[in-house]
Structure 1
Amino acid sequence: MFPIRQAAPARPTRPGRDRNAVVHPAPPGHPSVDDLERRPRVAVLGGGIAGVAASVGLAERGATVTLLEREDDLGGRLRGWPTGAGDTAGTMTRGFHAFFRQYYNLRALLRRVDPDLRLLRPVADYPLLHRRGTTESFAGIPRTPPWNVAGFVLRSKSFTLRDLRRMNTAAATPLFDVSVPRTYADLDSVDAASFLTDIGFPAAARHLAFEVFSRSFFADPRSLSAAELVTMFHIYFLGSSEGLLFDVPRDSFPKTLWRPLRRYLAGLGAEVRTGTAAARVERVDGIYRVHAAGGRVVESDAVVLALDVPGLRGLVAASPELGTPEWRARVAALRTAPPFLVSRLWLDRPAAPDRAPFLGTSGFPLLDNVSVLDLFEDEAARWRSRTGGSVVELHAYALPEDVDQDRVVAELVDELRQVYPELAAARVRHEEHVLAADCPLFAPGGFASRPSVGTADPTLVLAGDVVRVDLPVALMERAATTGFCAANALLAHWGVRGHDVWSVSNQGRSAVLRLAARRGRTAS
């Protein structure tokens, strides 16, 4: 007898405030696998956003899902783990993540466990500080294009009307006519830094583009595809009226996100095995056999690969029966962004109460972001209340491959003292550091060969933020979107209805500017 499945919450007519948001309807079919002769079994490898989204999408339609995750908890690069003891006990993560309001599919996943999204807390501003002292703010700026652009330029100290007039308008028109995948065909061969130079983007405002957009990929702008940068501009600013401000989880990631989602999956009859890494996959008589650590074997009719880049490359290399030679070469060619460091410090005194929860920084040798966790996260706020201290997190992106962690930490702390002088004499009561290099690199020229959700085998699909999907999505939203798309691909193969996905509009907001861009492409 099949376990009782919980119904997913009804999707709102619009997932946000943007009336131009686009629904991509689910493939039609049977309402669930109950109408099939046999209930299909699926092994989902990887328990990050993509793997959890795929598992939810499949389990809600009645598939037998076994989710394998190598770490001790779900979350992938968004997981958290316990650290410290006594007064310094808390949770460590790989850094804050911004839940933007245009992350429609990620938020739909979270609505499974919290329909009103009370688990998220809005952030009032995300100011940017240049080492020279100039600051930018996104608070109070209109959210709807083109008024958001006008409001920002009128208020900005580094991007003025004079700068706007000096820009190469012909070269800049791709910013206003984004359409995926065409934008990649036009711009993927160019790096982000060169594109901004070509359009005459003012030098004083480069930190806005790099810190807000390109640094989100942990990459040097010279190593990032201009198509990725332009698509990011579209998603967050020029093509959406959801705005540049965002929400964050109210408490630690395990408590707020992953434990509720794990319970939800269990209620759907899915089996979640954490602390279980998949070593290789073989195909025997049409059945997949996933060999996991400790000699465990999971048999399934289909497999979802929702792993990070190193994990995906390693698993495919160890599983010679998977995919075609050309597909395997595409997976092997995937690259990771340079190392990044996240340092979390439990200090014996608080940051000034008027500090922003998040501060983007520019012009410093290493410091890219400062987060004061006790200003937005309940666990850190409780620690501040008990001790009178503060929990501060420092980020450094695009570090050299031979990075010296101790040196970087020391320099980050010195730069923190420059930015927040009230913490100059603070004593560190506990500290945790994460140095990693496992985020995907979207280098120029890589889009055409990037693996997509589907493969030549309809029972083998991919999901994750490295996976190509021809929609205007990025980062965590790309992970969630490809997770649901992977579930949809398998469900469609079995003739079962999938799940709608949403995105911001896949075209520019202004018909006049779209026409100008198309004339420019024709002329060139």
Structure 2
Amino acid sequence: MNQDGSRLGRDPRRAQYPAAPGRLDVGDTGRQPRAIVVGAGIAGLAAATGLAERGFQVEVIERERYLGGRVGGWTEQWADGTRVGMNRGFHAFFAQYYNLRKLLTRGDPELRGLRRMDDYPLIDAQGHRDTFRGLPRTPPWNALAFALRSPTFRLGDLLRINARAAAPLAAVSVPQIYHWLDDMDAHTFLRDINFPDAARHLAFEVFSRSFFAEPEHTSAAELATMFHIYFLGSSEGLIFDVARENFDVGLWQPLAEYLTAAHVPGRPGTVRFHTGVTVDRVEPTAAGFAVVDDTGASLPADAVVLAADVAGLRRIVAASPALGDDAWRIQVAELGTAPAFAVYRLWLDRPVGADRPGFLGTGRLDPLDNISVLDRYERQATAWARENNGSVVELHAYAVAERTPPAATRQNLRDRLLARLHDLYPETSGARVLGETVLWRQDCPRFAPGDFARRPGVTTPHPRLVLAGDGIRVDLPVALMERAATTGWIAANTLLRQWGGAGHTLQTVPGHGRSAMLRTLATRDRQLR
């Protein structure tokens, strides 16, 4: 694959956003402009890459001691000295994530660090089981085949669907879909179109909870956009990739080596990382900005990218009274976070059944949302499992509580997750837990009804201050990790224009549904209301 990512993806209808023309090295006149990127998650790393490749001197400041943000990884050491890999939780790298994959090719040009899963089945409390194996890739046959072979969806259910109410689902146009549906929650929307309850719990609810929220608190527009990205808007297919290594080793170490290496062809700028440092505030100056950390140290910058998580962004802006105008500051202050979630990783003294998938999604099996058997695909987990004749299993519980609960409640959740694992994979019930880590986090952006219109975008009242992250508004059909990567590249492009620099080409799934008839029906229906 070539470095500009043009060969990433197979869908001939994917949308292309050509790079703006300009200089390939904005420092070729003798002075390199200096940018500070706050946050080394996907968005910050994409912004840093985009700027460095056009001649910026980039300083990346990260609060944690690892890169990757919510896709971060690190090494833990047990009391006996055993060192094991740990991540923030499972992530699926879909083929539709063009701009994220473009970023990863900088450190791994052939994307050898990713491997394609064979399947990821879904199961509910009644034992219904869906699979994505062998589905056609081309819309609408992919969605139709998935529905008709599902045990929770029958031909009669298809005939009872309210076609007029459901038209926006099949005729997504971004950002128009947000004007149509962002005032409605996903649960109400699916009820109004007569989508069968069992199928909703097993299929759509799994997608909704990937936003770390219940369907009742998720925007119907976000759900429709996700359906467009993965089903009706793309022919990339529904099977995703996973990382072959712990995230720090497989994803971010190669990228960091690329960004910090000297004299890399096509990357005239330099990048320096400062981890374990918290930014306190950003102060506009006559020459640009001063970025002040919590020790009082100050770094000068010609441009700043704020790519922190929602809480971090709100805190920095609140502590920087000279930034922005009142309207923009209110937008930032009103950004919300999704409920708290938990990641529970176990190192067991025996293997799980050979027929267990690497990833299993669940519906209505509270509090469990999915099970990952990491030794099926991750090298460090595989090595540990082989050496100890065991297995490494990870359990996720999304939208557990509005706030991280007290210790007793956390222990209760851990016990309930373990009980679910034993129910679904009975061979683990007698296993001894040799090691375990439970992570509680609440740092994912909220996508509730009405949030889209109030969300700040990449640009700000300061031309050389930009935002990036998966909680930042972008009028393109992207979600989750891909939204983070896309806003990072756009943030870089926005700054590059001001120095006459060439931009970076981007790609997304098509911006609207493939059926002109359905788009016309959906548009006409909305106009009549």
TM over 0.5: yes
What corresponds to 1:364 in structure 2? 365
What corresponds to 2:316 in structure 1? 315
Are residue 511 (structure 1) and residue 505 (structure 2) matched?
no
Task: Please show how residues 123-522 of structure 1 align to structure 2 within 5 Å.
Answer: 123-267=117-261, 268-401=269-402, 403=405, 404-522=409-527
For residues 261-292 of structure 1, give each alpha carbon's deviation from its aligned partner in whole angstroms, at most 9, with x where no partner exists: 11111125211111111111112223211111
**C-alpha separation in 2, matches of 1:76 and 1:465:** 11
Q: Is the 8 A contact 1:340 1:399 kept in 2?
A: yes
Given residue 205 of structure 1, which amino acid in structure 2 is its aligned partner? A
| Offset at residue 25 of structure 1 (A) | 1.5
Which moved further from structure 2: 393-402 or 131-140?
393-402
SS at match of 2:235: coil
**C-alpha separation in 1, matches of 2:8 and 2:516:** 24
Q: Is the 8 A contact 1:178 1:230 kept in 2?
A: yes
Given residue 343 of structure 1, which amino acid in structure 2 is its aligned partner? Y
For residues 336-384 of structure 1, give each alpha carbon's deviation from its aligned partner in whole angstroms, at most 9, with x where no partner exists: 0001010001111111011000001112121111111001101000001
Match of 2:13 among 3, 13, 20: 20
For residues 425-468 of structure 1, give each alpha carbon's deviation from its aligned partner in whole angstroms, at most 9, with x where no partner exists: 11111110111111000110111110000112110000000000
Q: Is the 8 A contact 1:239 1:504 kept in 2?
A: yes
What corresponds to 1:56 in structure 2? 49
Q: Is the 8 A contact 2:43 2:487 kept in 1?
A: yes
**C-alpha separation in 2, matches of 1:60 and 1:415:** 48
| Offset at residue 226 of structure 1 (A) | 0.5
What corresponds to 2:74 in structure 1? 81
What corresponds to 1:71 in structure 2? 64
For residues 68-124 of structure 1, give each alpha carbon's deviation from its aligned partner in whole angstroms, at most 9, with x where no partner exists: 001111111111121133574211112110000000000000111111110001111
SS at match of 2:210: helix
Given residue 377 of structure 2, which amino acid in structure 1 is its aligned partner? F
Given residue 250 of structure 1, which amino acid in structure 2 is its aligned partner? R
For residues 226-265 of structure 1, give each alpha carbon's deviation from its aligned partner in whole angstroms, at most 9, with x where no partner exists: 0000000000011101111100110100101111111111
Q: Is the 8 A contact 1:82 1:91 kept in 2?
A: yes
Which moved further from structure 2: 485-494 or 36-45?
36-45
SS at match of 1:398: strand
Q: Is the 8 A contact 1:211 1:360 kept in 2?
A: no
**C-alpha separation in 2, matches of 1:152 and 1:169:** 18
Which moved further from structure 2: 58-67 or 361-370?
361-370
SS at match of 1:452: coil
Given residue 526 of structure 2, which amino acid in structure 1 is its aligned partner? R
Q: Is the 8 A contact 1:340 1:435 kept in 2?
A: yes
**C-alpha separation in 2, matches of 1:229 and 1:153:** 17
SS at match of 1:505: coil
Task: Give unpaired runs (5+ residues) of structure 1.
Answer: 1-7
**C-alpha separation in 2, matches of 1:13 and 1:494:** 25
Are residue 11 (structure 1) and residue 4 (structure 2) matched?
yes
User: Cα distance 1:188–1:145, how it changes in 2: closer, same or farther (>3 A)?
Assistant: same
Match of 1:100 among 67, 86, 94: 94
SS at match of 1:232: helix
Q: Is the 8 A contact 1:125 1:245 kept in 2?
A: yes
**C-alpha separation in 2, matches of 1:463 and 1:90:** 32
What corresponds to 2:265 in structure 1? none
For residues 174-222 of structure 1, give each alpha carbon's deviation from its aligned partner in whole angstroms, at most 9, with x where no partner exists: 0121111110011100001100011111111012344431111000111
Which moved further from structure 2: 15-24 or 28-37?
28-37
**C-alpha separation in 1, matches of 2:92 and 2:26:** 36
SS at match of 1:397: strand
**C-alpha separation in 1, matches of 2:161 and 2:285:** 60
Q: Is the 8 A contact 1:303 1:460 kept in 2?
A: yes
What corresponds to 1:116 in structure 2? 110
| Offset at residue 522 of structure 1 (A) | 2.8
SS at match of 1:20: coil
Which moved further from structure 2: 257-266 or 471-480?
257-266
**C-alpha separation in 1, matches of 2:231 and 2:175:** 19
Q: Is the 8 A contact 1:80 1:92 kept in 2?
A: yes
**C-alpha separation in 1, matches of 2:29 and 2:521:** 51
**C-alpha separation in 1, matches of 2:30 and 2:5:** 33
Give the CA RMSD over aligned residues: 1.4
SS at match of 2:353: coil
| Offset at residue 35 of structure 1 (A) | 4.2
SS at match of 1:100: coil
**C-alpha separation in 2, matches of 1:46 and 1:275:** 11
For residues 468-519 of structure 1, give each alpha carbon's deviation from its aligned partner in whole angstroms, at most 9, with x where no partner exists: 0100000000000000000000001111111011000001111222222222
SS at match of 1:16: coil
**C-alpha separation in 1, matches of 2:83 and 2:275:** 23
SS at match of 1:465: coil
Identity of aligned residues (%): 55
**C-alpha separation in 2, matches of 1:103 and 1:492:** 25
Task: Please give the TM-score of this superposition, normalised by the length of structure 2.
Answer: 0.95
User: Cα distance 1:211–1:426, how it changes in 2: closer, same or farther (>3 A)?
Assistant: farther
| Offset at residue 162 of structure 1 (A) | 1.1
What corresponds to 2:36 in structure 1? 43
SS at match of 2:368: coil
Given residue 337 of structure 1, which amino acid in structure 2 is its aligned partner? A
Q: Is the 8 A contact 1:360 1:368 kept in 2?
A: yes
| Offset at residue 14 of structure 1 (A) | 4.4
Query: Hey, which bits of structure 1, 4+ residues long, moved more than 4 A?
Result: none
